[in-house]
Amino acid sequence: MDVELNALHVKLKGVEQTLEKYLRDDALDNSVRRAVYSEVELLRLDFLDWQLKYTNCFVNEVGDALARIDKLASMLNLVPIGRRTSSLLLSYVELLLRVLGVSSAFVVIGGFLSLPLLVLRALDVYFQVDPFCYSSEFLKRCFAHVFLFQFGVVCLTEGLDNSSMFKTSCALMCFSHVSSMDGFLVAGTCPIRQIALAKKELFTIPFFSWMSLAIGGMPVDRSSRERAIKALKHSTEAARKNKICIAVAPEGTRSLTGQLLPFKKGMMQHPDDALYLI
């Protein structure tokens, strides 16, 4: 068996043994489940990546490994993590304050700051500013972090290397869609301008739609295959021409458990483009 494939099988066996130990000791709390799940899904990507490089070799071995990974993922049963507060009254007060804060931010940013952001981006493009130094992108990230703060989300970014993003063409960013806040997380962490593909229904919401367009949203009509493909082609051409990033959730919809859903058709990487998974 190939040395690299054998090493992946050894890692998979180690994860299986770890999970068995946690189950035997009744120590599988939600934080442990999520840690193990991350290892499981990273292993899945490693096996799939290996399979892409050696399509006609060891097909059965890879298929068996993916079946074992599916079994591990089904055993974890991830559940949403609830917010912990000292009292029920304080939790309702906090919820009310966050609702008011988010609503106010939507009105102020969506209604009054979206247009200035679009103008500033046009100036960045006109004066050919370094894509990683767009003042419009800095402002957009500030807006995104305002919303994340209102939602009570702390965002940490690790391992992002700007220098490797655009050596040849554009970059494709794929993210696991687990929350309505994913758009703000992408907008607040991506170091460069991005086109975020989203269903067209989101762009009919007052204030939110204006802000979505300002931060790079691209409506996709999922009811029409022809129009959806046209939107994707337009986004790809714009990304390659201007060296910007395309952000898309390949699952196509939110996962209620945090576990990956099957990917929709159409996720394909161009050989000259960088691919980032978050």
For position 138, what pLDDT does the model report? 92
Judge whether residue 213 has pLDDT over 80.
Answer: yes
For the cut 60, the answer to whether the pLDDT of residue 273 exceeds it is no
Asked if 246 contacts 275 with a C-beta cutoff of 8 angstroms, the reply is no
147 pLDDT more than 50? yes
pLDDT of residue 1: 52
Whose structure tokens read 């089904």?
Answer: 74
Q: What percent of the chain has pLDDT over 90?
A: 4
Report d(CA 247, CA 169) in Å as an integer. 15
pTM for the model: 0.69
Q: Long-range pairs for 144-150 at CB < 8 Å and ≥24 separation?
A: 144/184, 144/185, 144/187, 144/188, 144/215, 145/188, 146/105, 146/109, 147/102, 147/105, 147/109, 147/181, 147/184, 148/181, 148/184, 148/185, 148/188, 150/98, 150/101, 150/102, 150/105
* Residue 18, pLDDT score: 87
pLDDT for residue 270 is more than 60? no
How high is the pLDDT of residue 223? 81
Parse the chain into domains and list their residue ranges.
Answer: 3-76, 88-277
Q: What is the mean pLDDT of the chain?
A: 80
Residue 169: predicted pLDDT: 63
Residue 252 or residue 185, greater confidence: 185
Residues of 55-91 as b/e, b for ≥16 C-beta within 10 angstroms?
A: eeebeebbeebbebbeebbebbebeeeeeeeeeeeee
Contacts of 158 (CB under 8 A, 6+ apart): none
209 against 275, higher pLDDT: 209
- Torsion over CA of 74, 263, 53 and 191, rounded to 10 degrees? -110
Least confident of 27-31, 109-113, 153-157, 194-198: 27-31
